[in-house]
Amino acid sequence: MTVANRAQRGSIAPMDVVIDSLAAGGDGVGRAPDGRVVFVPFTAPGDRVRLRVVESRRTFLRARVEALLEPGASRTDPVCPAFGSCGGCAWQHVDMAAQLEAKARIVEDALRRIGALAFAEPIRITPSPVDYGYRARTRVLRRGGRTGYRRRRSNAIQPVSRCPVLTPALDASLHALAASEDAGDGEYELAAGADAVRCAALGAAAVAPPIEIRVLGDRLRVSPGVFFQANAPLHDALAQAVLEAAGGGGHALEAFAGAGFFTLSLSRRFDRVTAVESDPAAAADLRHNLAHAGRDNVRVVAERLERAWSSLPGADVLVLDPPRGGLPPDAAPWLAGLGARRIVYLSCDPATLARDCARLRQQGHVLRAVSAFDLFPHTPHVEALAVLEPRRGQDGDGSVHSARGSSGGPVAPTGARAGRSG
């Protein structure tokens, strides 16, 4: 922060503000008396709060709560004693209806602001079947005999021995690790499978056993450190939504395939599948899972997408599930050149999804439908599923429609309307 900003911050008196909404980063959002947007952690829509400014910029302020003058209707009591200090959850104080509304709006705002897209109807979001006890994979730190997560905006450890968002089996594993006198310092991955729980020290020489997860009837081996979707109760609904969006046909190209979360089911809908996965451990799991399921129509390409794409064939459908950073910078022209009739893009970051959709739009694609999934209740994270197709001659303004999921009970969140901005 500059000297000028510090001086200006110190000259701003406490102010009373009503919180209107929740931002993508998790803070509540209101308007200061001078019209500037103000971001306030741990506030809920409808709260009337007295604030102390901690950062002043030309167009916005950041502040902390000095007093909660009147709680909003969406405010609720957090269940975790570490809430507020732990860097994991940001919204345990917000009820689920308001969380779902905020997440749908976060996706819509990103696509409108970055992707210049219009919406014909509200984005539909599939809620998690459970608000707590959903998370089947996490990473924790251990230092000097203390176990926990990182503190909010810090590398320091927030000690925890219980975590209410973890599945019961995983919560028990965390408790055992925290109580252990033998576990060394480092980072640990806790993962719950269908029949077992794994606690693995990442980077250690010892090899921990894989676990198995179940997705639409398939059993998938997942080795330590290999990514899989963490919300176990939403596995089937998420996979089914991607499969329905992909449809079927001759050839599907799947990028960022992981251990095969979607691949095995895709192989039953398409004559052949090319699955690209750069992580060696994930690619090994993928090959094992395909062999175990008797699927012999999948070619696994164990390379980074940008290194492999010059040798990859065209496809009827593209299925993309990239990490938070999104697609490689030069991916859009190559993807458009594959001649696919549809691109199915699952994203864990609405901002990078919007950026990539804008790049694909420049290559002649239209975003046909978008939906969202609440994989991480009590956090601002949201998963978005986008379907893009080549532009047709009769296309008008490219207004986007909400994609309806199947087995997750998608809902239009209360108050979410097309055109509403954050």
Judge contact between 171 and 191, C-beta under 8 A. no
Identified catalytic residue from 101, 108, 254, 383: 383
Q: How far apart are the first and last CA of the chain?
A: 25
348 is catalytic: yes
Angle subtended at Cα 421 by Cα 418 and Cα 422, rounded to the nearest 5 degrees? 135
Active site residue 199: no
Closest C-alpha among 161, 159, 197 to residue 179: 161
Which candidate in 89, 199, 348, 357 is catalytic? 348
Q: Which DSSP string do the residues of 295-351 spell out, in sequence order? A: --SEEEE-S-HHHHGGGPPP-SEEEE---TT-S-TTHHHHHHHT--SEEEEEES-HH
Task: Collect all residues with Cβ–Cβ distance below 8 Å to 344 and sequence separation of at least 6.
Answer: 242, 245, 246, 317, 318, 319, 320, 385, 386, 387
DSSP strand pairing (401-402 vs 365-373) = parallel
Judge residue 320's burial from the number of C-beta atoms within 10 Å of its C-beta, 0-12 exposed, 13-18 middle, 19 or more buried. Answer: buried
Residue with tokens 């570490």: 82
Count Cα atoms within 13 angstroms, Cβ side, for 38.
Answer: 30
CA distance 180 to 155: 22
What is the rounded CA–CA span in Å between residue 99 and residue 75?
11
For residue 150, what are its two tokens? 């990182």
Q: Which residues are catalytic?
A: 348, 383
